[in-house]
Structure 1
Amino acid sequence: MKRLFNNNLSKILIIFTILYLLKYVLPQSFMLEVIILSIYTMGCSFLIGRVGFVSFGQPAYLAIGAYGTAFYLYYFGTNPFVAILVGILLGLIINIITGAFFIRLNSSYYTLCNQAFCVVSFFIFQKALVKYTHGDNGLWFLSRIDPTPVIDLSRTEGVFIFAFLGAVGVWLLFNYLMNHSVFGATCLCVKCNEEKLRFLGYNVFNIKWLAFIIANTITSLAGALYSLYFGFVSAGITAPSKAIEPVAISMLGGAGTLFGPLVGSFIFIGLKDIASQVISYWELLVGLMLIIVMLAGEKGIVGSLEGFLSKLINKHGNNEGLQATNIEGEVGSE
């Protein structure tokens, strides 16, 4: 039991198996939104919890991936796999360029600069490129998506399977980065003591740049999946008013934890779909829940539960060890 709990690969296998089976209990559209939102949030959670960068510009990186996919399907081709690749590559290129400038700023200015980037992106997609983006009316391309072999991305079932497999890949990647790589350890050092890391000879700029690129390219992947799922993209996807969502979800689930984005996304989508039917201002519940969770421990739901379960399992393991010792002593005395 203790070994299973401490094995993150086992956790990923169990949790994603449960997540897949839940589509037979809950609406598939609900589960698909949870998966896409959790991928979207993972990059933000990694930056906050492991690098110390709070970003209110995530809708911009989401929109880049979404519009890259949408432009291809609306203007150039009909293959959804190529469209997703275009969205990811466009996000990668933009992230390489913007990251080289943004990460030179300290945490406060980084946050404000990303917020400004989100506002600028919103203006570009809504006004400056309205001839190509159609502004708030958006691009409709669902009918242009061709059926594909093996996983048919022209159907919701195929998009779900592809997004699910993509999420598994993302979680395996971040499990390695967070728990099994020198890069992940240096990212945490950047957050805790950047000067000491620089003194030890590490290139802090490259570490932060690579973290920025990885995290926000994953965000662009979420944008590509979002675009493919709805078959529609409008400028509203990058609205500055939505910039708080990935940050709030990250903090709610547990910033920097492996499964925090999943838990936070599940709660967020659940409240949006269920609580919104009862009260108009369902965001109020999210805010109150976030305040309670932060006051309880500042580690989010997953961070708090992991600490509690670790103590519980360690206590159980110690009791078993004590019992085994007593039995050995009794046998020896006989």
Structure 2
Amino acid sequence: MHVSTPFSEKLDLVLKALSMSRGRLAADLGVDKSLVGRWASGAVTPSAHNLENLTKLVATKRDGFTMLDWDRDIDGLARVFGLEPTNGHAVLAKTNGAHVGLPLPGLDLVRMVTERRAATYEGFWRSTRPSIAMPGKIFHDYGMIRRGPEGLLEFKMGGSGLLFDGWMLPVEGQLFAILFDTVGQTPVFLIFNGVSLHKAVQLDGLILAAALNAARTPSAYPVVLERLGDLSGDIETDNAEYAELLTRDTAATDETVSQAMHDHLIRDIGPGPAAAGTGEMFLLSSWANSLSKGLSSGGHLQG
């Protein structure tokens, strides 16, 4: 392998090209997720046995892939997967406004908005949301939003052993997100109210997901994201910070959830509350009651 291109970068490129998470890779190879994490961080490289198994797995998804392909430089490896190398870094190739792994219309607009507004939302975040499985209880998740090499905002969240990985797409003042459970690959959809100021410090919206019960009941419920800190700009440092966040307790307390936040998250909805003027007909995240807010570049304005 070329010394100038660490294996960790090549692995990152391959995983993105195949839309595969580290958790899924570990499960398919039958190895511990922490081992894949060490490959991805560059701490270690795969043994000959693991590299052979990894190559066989990739070959099932990309015909003709062999051990020799790992010896290519990053641009050469990118071309194997139909990616476009740009200034030495492979980015996902565009085809009619889409890219490999996320074939959605309108991505050119998303890229344009992300180019202008990515810094507004990049950072470490904590979610606060009600529990569907445990009515009346509130929980936190911890996550990171970071612009990836393909020009989109990567969105990672996790807690209590569950990890979700996906994208956040800024469009028309809102943020549309899709996350996938890294084990079962179950999708979760989110919509947040965006902010107009330079730096978002809090976002509110709705989650649409299958509840974690036996029936996997389709469910919709409110969620609030609160900024915990900014990215350092160093990928490995930020990955380590995200890993530390995932070790935190996810159960909310009176100290982490105010009464106002509790009332925002647990509401009365339906014809009865709407008629009585005490609730909504539908579960909404309206601008009038939005908790989303940001700061100006100098920090003097908030709203």
TM-score normalised to structure 1 length? 0.24
Higher helix proportion (structure 1 or 2): 1
Q: Which has the higher strand share?
A: 2
Q: Normalised by the size of structure 2, how large is the TM-score?
A: 0.25
